[in-house]
Amino acid sequence: MEFETIRVEVGDRIQTITLNRPDKLNAFNAAMMNELIAAFDLADKNDDVRAVILTGAGRAFCAGADLSAGADTFDQDKREGRRAPRKMPDGGDDYSDEAIRDGGGRVTLRIFESLKPVIAAINGPAVGIGATMLLPMDIRLASEDARIGFVFSRRGIVMEACSSWFLPRLVGMQQACDWVYSGRVFPASEALAGGLVKEMLPAAELLPRARAIAKEIADNTAPVSIALMRQMMWRMLGADHPMEAHKIDSRGIFTRGKSADVREGVSAFLEKRPAHFADRVSKDMPPYFPWWQERPYG
């Protein structure tokens, strides 16, 4: 598949997605939205991909929305090729219309649904959607050169890309409020202290460290188990009682307990050898998956 705004490379069972508009500091536009969604679709369909890394080309990760339209950047009514939303009988906009949907949210929802672990390698400035697209990723690593900003209050807009759901869950309400209300851009060291990133590294060590984490997953774990556990943890963030987790845990233990993967995993451990897991995400997910109903926009 040909891409214009990103690069997609697969090696060592790792799919690396690189935001690739370095002359624009990898600013986000509609083409990048569509291509990122397509890249995660490719990763989920490819059983040879065991983990995904997302990074940026050049000196930035992503400088946020492409502001080439100037003051009209966020006015959807003035975007070329954009369909106007339906009208209500009173003449107001129909907010349930797909035409109103936020593009950043489409991307973060797709990452949320990923069946492969996602690792962010934040190589430079990550602002606006460049910051919020990081939130549904599983592990975030930052270069010492990275700077992050949830700058919406300084642009007169509001947080997007489902970040009002993700950010407080990741860093707590107090830290989220500080960063979002102030709209300030802060260094990687503050992101580390605030729990937004797992590690801060020298620039030269960033991608090797991301690859090492991805390779450990690819070399040692059962892909179906990883796909299930990723969805278990993310979706349980919204559960109202631990019983909801117990229901899904029980289904997983029951079905996976009968699988060839589990027989192999236990035998390999007892025989002190590497395990070779045969089950694949494309064809061997258990019958109870998915256990949730898809949420429509509306």
Task: Please write the tens of the pLDDT for every residue from 189-230.
Answer: 999 999 999 999 999 999 999 999 999 999 999 999 999 999
Q: pLDDT of 89-112, one tens digit each?
A: 998 888 888 888 999 999 999 999
Confidence of residue 154 (pLDDT cuts 50, 70, 90): very high
Q: How many residues does the chain have?
A: 298
Does the pLDDT of residue 81 top 80, yes or no? no
Query: Mean pLDDT across the stretch 172-180?
Result: 98
Biggest distance spanned by C-alpha atoms of the chain: 72
Q: Quote the pLDDT of residue 96.
A: 86
pLDDT at position 67 over 80:
no
User: What are the pLDDT digits (tens) for 233-245?
Assistant: 999 999 999 999 9
Higher pLDDT, 44 or 88: 44
pLDDT (0 to 100) of residue 208: 98
Percent of the chain at pLDDT > 90 equals 88
pLDDT tens-digit series, residues 6-40: 999 999 999 999 999 999 999 999 999 999 999 99
Lowest mean pLDDT among 9-13, 14-18, 83-87, 246-250: 83-87
Instruction: Quote the pLDDT of residue 73.
Output: 62
Sign of CA dihedral 71, 23, 54, 142: negative
Domains of the chain: 6-217 (3.90.226.10), 221-298 (1.10.12.10)
HSE, side-chain direction, 13 A CA sphere, residue 27: 9
Burial class (CB in 10 A: 0-12, 13-18, 19+), 9: exposed
Query: Tokens standing for 269?
Result: 């451990």
* pLDDT band with cut points at 50, 70 and 90 for residue 74: low
Tokens 């060839």 appear where?
260
Distance CA 34, CA 55 (A): 17
Amino acid identity at 139: I
Determine the Cα–Cα distance for residues 46 and 40; give it in Å rounded to an integer: 10
* Beta carbons of 86 and 49 less than 8 angstroms apart: no
Give yes or no for residue 83 having a pLDDT over 90: no
pLDDT band of residue 72 (cuts 50, 70, 90) is low
Give mean pLDDT, residues 113-118: 98
Specify the pLDDT at position 78: 60
The 8-class DSSP code of residue 138 comes to S
